Each structure stands twice: as structure tokens, then as C-alpha cells.
């Protein structure tokens, strides 16, 4: 698919407008502004030429079919809030944004089996409000920014630190419009009227849910997600570790606690700037065009009462189990807790107070202002083995690389079952061209450097996707080649999310519109 010419676009827009009774269409500069990525690094023309905003129903199928007929690529977004990873902006070739945010129905919430079925427009805040309004004992795993879509977040491998924090893993059942307009329900949803759609992951045959995570194979129009049943009790634990080089020991200790099942969530260990960027701006500490130095960093930590590393974890369960676990966790963490182990207990019936307990907020974006008015960030997630030594090695390596290009080290480690996710945020000033260039170079260096240790990036903005995919090179990029074959089978016109998959150019399937219909 090449960029649609004005005539094809006009015909497409006229066509979808005629077919749908309740469709908003946006064009022109307002549209481009609305859907551009506020954090985009480069002045790449982001390709947006128009946007269509259906309210639901069969409109999506009509739009996708029409896009195939007229050769107009679509860039589906849920709510377009995937900030740090590209926002709502399309990539590369001109495309029409398929904005699903008006499809915002909560179709089911089941308390007993703890699941929901939602449309792409439902945000974490929407679901939180719904649960509060109906007094439902279910807890959300929330990402840093609560105004994003639950569907979009899971599809883009968003994370939280609750036991349900690997959001893509909580998907149970999808409704999808494939690239040629065919409507499919996965899993038990394929048995018409089945009550098992959100209860049972695999039907007969392969499970297809994860095929639509981070892909351009289809447009997800409904998603089942598992939620966390409200526990009887919980305990939040926070510590500050002042010694930068103590990271390894802390990782080993938390891993051991997690392996003994004393910890149920994904403990997070965040570098001080991650916290500092929520409460201050860079110019409070330095005006130099380089990464903060040791002295500035120390002054900052002292002023804000932060450790070099700041760890939090939360225990969940019946009261007696939480107390038992807490005893072990407190004791094990004490040697690392330079200002003591802070514990905050909660029991069912008490008011729920903070974000760790699943209250989504819009506050996660505050850190974007770190570099001032033009502040922005691009994020990079790399998975490492659950090893203290490797965490330390990787942290030092990333610090060095960032320092070499004058970028501060904002980093958090999420400890999972058999790996550890390291999310690094590169905060920069969009108005500073040299800095943008430095960040772009640093991002690519980080991808390549990680790959040399056998680590791959799990999330990346669309314009870094090709770089991030390039490292998956086994058998001459066989994985991308397989992806391209599935892409061609499910989106034969190559209409959806052009370029998003990041397949190397030479194996990207060339779009050919289906001839027979």
C-alpha cells in the first residue's frame, strides 16, 4: 500500500460516511494535531491524513472493507494514549486514524469469576469509576497513566505491578475484525452465546488471543480481561536503598521472597529520578546540558528524601496469610532499608487510598515535564534474567550509554516470575534538536547493546520498531518472515497499521488488494 491519493481518500471517506449512520470524520490540520504524538522525537511527517470515529456496531467491518476497496491504510487506535510508545500517531506512509475511543461500553463485569468484557474506548479510570459506583469487589492493575485504554494497554504489553500486572497475560477472549473485514471471536466466544468466553482461555485448537498483541493482523473490538478479586487484606511495603551498588543484593532478596511465594505481585525497584521527575523539574537541580552529576544527584536525593533505588511491593490475601508473609518480607528487606521498612496495611472494609491498590490516575504524565515545557519521553522495555549481578551490570551499562549522550537515567525494574523487565524512560526537550538527536541515537544504541547480551526490547514506539525487530535474526529473521506470512493471510490488502510490525523491509509483504470478494 502506498499513500492514498486525494481521490482515493475522498472516495473512501464518502463511502464510509454513506455506509454508517453515526460516524465522525476528521480531516485537515486539526486532525493532524489531534492525533500527532506529543512526544515524537523527530519531525517525521506522521502520515495522518484523516480520522474516522465510529460508535461501534458493524461500522468497523464497513470501514475496513472500504479501506481495502480504496487502498487506504488504516491506523487503529483505542484511545491513543500509548504515550512514550508513539501515542496515537501513525507511522510512515499516510494513513487514516481509525479511532475507537467512542466505542466505550463496559459490556460485562463479573464479580464471582473476576473478569470484564470491554470495548477499546474504556479507560482504566472508566472501569475504576464503574467498580466504585457499583461497589464491586474487584481491583484493577493500573499502568502509570490511567486515562489510557484497557484494551490498547493490554494489546501493547502495558504493565502494572499487581499480581495481574502483565496485562497481555490477562486477556481472555477477543472479538476482532481481520484486515479484510471478517469478524472473528476467539476462544469460547466462537461458540455462539457461550458463557465461557471470559472464563476459559483455550477452546479446541490453538489459542489465538496473543496473535493480536502488538500486531497489525486485526482490529480488536471487544476484549475479555481478568481482574483481581479484592483480597481480604493487603500490605504495601516501601524501602529506600541509598547505595547504588546494592541493587544486585536487593534483586536477589526480592526474587527469593517471590520464589517462596511470600510476595504475590511484581516488586518494582525504581531509580531516584523516576520519583524525582514526578515531584520536581530538572532545572531545580541543574542547568547543565549533560546528565546530572554525582553531586547534583546527591543533593536531589537528600532534598526529596529518596534512596538511590526505591523499592515497593505489595502482599495480598487473607489476613493471616498477609501477616505471615509480611513477617518474612520485613525481616529480609531490613538490611536494605536505609530509612526503615515502611508498611501500610489495608483490610477489607477500610477505604482504599492509593494507586498501588489499583486507583488509576492521570499523574503518570507529570514526569514528562522533567526537561521543561517541551518535555517528552520515549520508553524502552528490556527483559533481563532474574539475576542481581545482571541487573547491576545492565544498570551501569545503560547509565554509561545515557551519560555519554547527556541523558539522565530514569529506570525501573519489575520483577516477574522468570525474568525482570527494565523500563528506561528517556526524558528530553522536544524543542532541543540536538537533544532529540542524542536521544534517538541513544535509543538505538540501547537496542543494539541489549541484543549483544541476548536481550530484546518488548515495547518500542513504531518508528523504532524496525530497529527493535532487526535483532530477532535467528534463521535469517524467520520469526519476522512467519509474521509476514500470517499478516498476508489475515490482512491481505496490507491495510492495517502499515509499518507497525517492524518486519525488515525485504520481508514485509507487499500489499495487494484482494481481487475477488
Residues 224-253 that bind its own copies (CB under 8 A): 226, 229, 232
Candidates 8, 26, 109, 184: give the one binding its own copies (CB under 8 A): 184
Of 145-153, 338-346, 348-356, 382-390, which part binds its own copies (CB under 8 A)?
382-390
105 phi and psi angles, rounded to 5 deg: -85, 140
199 binds its own copies (CB under 8 A): yes
Residues 450 to 469: which contact its own copies by CB under 8 A? 451, 454-460, 465, 468-469
Question: Any contact of residue 204 with its own copies (CB under 8 A)?
Answer: yes
- Of 141-160, binders to its own copies (CB under 8 A) are 157
Task: State how far the Cα of 488 lies from the Cα of 470, in Å rounded to an integer.
Answer: 20
User: Of residues 312-341, which lie at the interface with its own copies (CB under 8 A)?
Assistant: 317-318, 320-321, 324-325, 328
Does the protein bind its own copies through residue 172 (CB under 8 A)?
yes
Quick note: the x/- pattern for its own copies over 411-440, rule CB under 8 A, is: -------xx---------------------
Residue 102 CA to residue 104 CA, distance in Å, equals 5
- Residue burial 157-170, b: 16+ Cβ < 10 Å; e: rest: bbbbbbbbbbbbeb
Least Å from the CB of residue 254 to its own copies: 15
CB nearer to its own copies: pick between 210 and 403: 210
- For position 348 contacting its own copies by CB under 8 A, the verdict is no
Q: Which residues pair with 117 in a beta bridge?
A: 108, 224
Q: Measured between alpha carbons, how far is residue 228 from residues 165, 170, 257, 358, 370 in Å?
A: 10, 10, 21, 10, 33
91 counts as binding its own copies under rule CB under 8 A: no
- Rounded to the nearest angstrom, the gap between the alpha carbon of residue 181 and the centroid of all alpha carbons in its chain is 26
Q: 261: number of CA atoms within 13 Å, CB side?
A: 2
CB of 86 to its own copies, least distance (A): 14
Residue 268: partners with Cβ closer than 8 Å, 6 or more residues away = 161, 311, 312, 313, 412, 413, 414, 415
- Selected binder of its own copies within 16, 178, 300, 371 (CB under 8 A): 178
Exactly one of 385, 401, 406, 437 binds its own copies (CB under 8 A); that residue is 385
The reply to whether 262 sits near its own copies by the rule CB under 8 A is yes
Alpha-carbon distance of 330 to 337, in angstroms, equals 9
Q: Out of 44, 107, 147, 190, point to the residue binding its own copies (CB under 8 A).
A: 190
How many beta carbons lie within 10 A of that of residue 286, not counting itself? 17
Binding pattern to its own copies, positions 103-122, x when CB under 8 A?
Answer: ----------xxx-------
SS3 sequence of 427-470: EEECCCHHHHHHHHHHHHHHHHHHHHCCCCEEECCHHHHHHHHH
Compute the least distance from the CB of residue 389 to its own copies, in Å. 12
Q: Which is nearer to its own copies, 220 or 241 (CB)?
A: 220
Q: How many residues bind its own copies (CB under 8 A)?
A: 89
- Angle between helix axes 272-279 and 294-304 (nearest 10 degrees) is 60
Please state the closest distance from residue 478 (CB atom) to its own copies, in A: 4
Task: For the CB of residue 353, give the shortest distance to its own copies in the complex, in Å.
Answer: 23
Q: Could you tell me the CA-to-CA distances from 427 to 123, 282, 302 in Å, in that order?
A: 25, 10, 22
**The three cell numbers locating residue 11:** 472516495
294 binds its own copies (CB under 8 A): no
Amino acid at each position: 500500500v502506498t499513500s492514498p491519493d486525494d481521490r482515493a481518500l475522498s472516495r473512501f471517506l464518502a463511502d464510509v460516511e454513506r455506509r454508517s449512520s453515526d460516524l465522525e470524520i476528521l480531516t485537515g490540520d486539526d486532525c493532524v494535531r489531534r492525533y500527532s504524538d506529543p512526544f515524537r522525537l523527530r519531525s517525521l511527517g506522521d502520515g495522518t491524513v484523516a480520522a474516522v470515529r465510529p460508535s461501534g456496531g458493524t461500522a468497523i467491518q464497513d470501514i475496513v472493507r472500504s479501506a481495502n476497496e480504496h487502498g487506504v491504510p488504516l491506523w487503529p487506535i483505542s484511545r491513543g494514549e500509548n504515550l512514550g510508545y508513539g501515542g496515537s500517531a501513525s507511522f510512515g506512509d499516510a494513513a487514516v486514524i481509525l479511532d475507537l475511543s467512542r466505542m466505550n461500553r463496559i459490556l460485562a463485569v463479573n464479580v464471582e469469576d473476576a473478569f470484564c468484557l470491554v470495548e477499546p474506548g474504556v479507560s482504566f479510570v472508566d472501569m475504576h469509576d464503574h467498580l466504585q459506583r457499583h461497589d464491586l469487589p474487584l481491583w484493577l492493575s493500573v499502568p502509570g497513566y490511567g486515562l489510557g485504554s484497557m484494551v490498547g494497554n493490554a494489546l501493547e504489553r502495558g504493565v502494572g505491578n499487581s499480581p495481574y500486572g502483565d496485562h497481555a497475560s490477562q486477556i481472555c477472549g477477543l472479538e476482532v475484525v481481520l484486515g479484510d473485514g471478517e469478524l472473528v471471536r476467539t476462544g469460547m466466544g466462537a461458540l455462539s452465546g457461550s458463557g465461557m468466553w471470559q472464563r476459559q482461555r483455550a477452546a479446541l485448537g490453538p489459542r489465538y488471543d496473543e496473535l493480536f498483541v502488538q500486531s497489525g493482523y486485526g482490529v480488536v473490538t471487544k476484549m475479555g480481561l481478568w481482574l483481581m478479586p479484592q483480597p481480604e487484606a493487603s500490605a504495601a511495603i516501601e524501602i529506600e536503598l541509598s547505595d547504588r551498588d546494592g541493587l544486585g543484593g536487593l534483586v536477589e532478596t526480592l526474587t527469593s521472597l517471590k520464589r517462596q511465594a511470600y510476595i504475590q505481585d511484581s516488586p518494582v525497584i525504581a531509580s531516584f529520578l523516576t520519583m524525582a521527575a514526578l515531584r520536581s523539574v530538572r532545572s531545580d537541580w541543574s542547568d547543565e546540558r549533560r546528565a546530572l552529576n554525582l553531586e547534583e544527584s546527591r543533593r536531589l536525593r537528600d532534598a526529596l528524601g529518596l534512596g538511590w533505588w526505591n523499592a515497593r511491593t505489595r502482599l495480598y490475601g487473607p489476613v493471616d496469610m498477609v501477616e505471615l508473609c509480611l513477617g518474612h518480607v520485613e525481616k529480609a528487606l531490613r538490611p536494605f532499608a536505609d530509612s526503615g521498612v515502611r508498611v501500610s496495611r489495608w483490610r477489607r472494609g477500610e477505604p482504599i487510598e492509593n494507586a498501588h491498590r489499583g486507583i488509576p490516575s492521570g499523574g503518570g504524565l507529570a514526569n514528562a515535564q522533567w526537561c521543561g515545557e517541551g518535555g517528552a519521553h520515549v520508553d524502552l522495555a528490556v527483559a533481563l534474567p532474574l539475576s542481581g549481578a545482571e541487573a547491576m551490570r545492565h544498570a551501569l551499562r545503560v547509565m554509561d550509554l545515557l551519560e555519554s549522550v547527556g541523558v539522565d537515567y530514569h529506570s525501573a525494574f519489575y520483577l516477574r516470575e522468570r525474568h525482570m523487565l527494565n523500563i528506561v524512560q528517556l526524558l528530553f526537550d522536544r524543542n532541543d534538536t540536538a537533544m532529540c538527536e542524542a536521544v534517538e541515537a541513544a535509543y538505538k544504541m540501547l537496542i543494539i547493546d541489549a541484543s549483544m547480551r541476548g536481550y530484546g526490547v518488548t515495547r518500542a514506539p513504531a518508528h523504532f520498531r524496525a530497529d527493535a525487530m532487526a535483532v530477532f535474526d535467528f534463521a535469517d529473521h524467520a520469526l519476522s518472515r512467519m509474521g509476514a506470512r500470517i499478516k498476508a493471510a489475515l490482512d491481505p490488502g496490507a491495510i492495517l497499521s502499515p509499518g507497525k510490525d517492524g518486519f525488515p523491509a525485504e520481508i514485509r509483504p507487499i500489499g495487494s488488494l484482494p481481487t475477488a470478494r
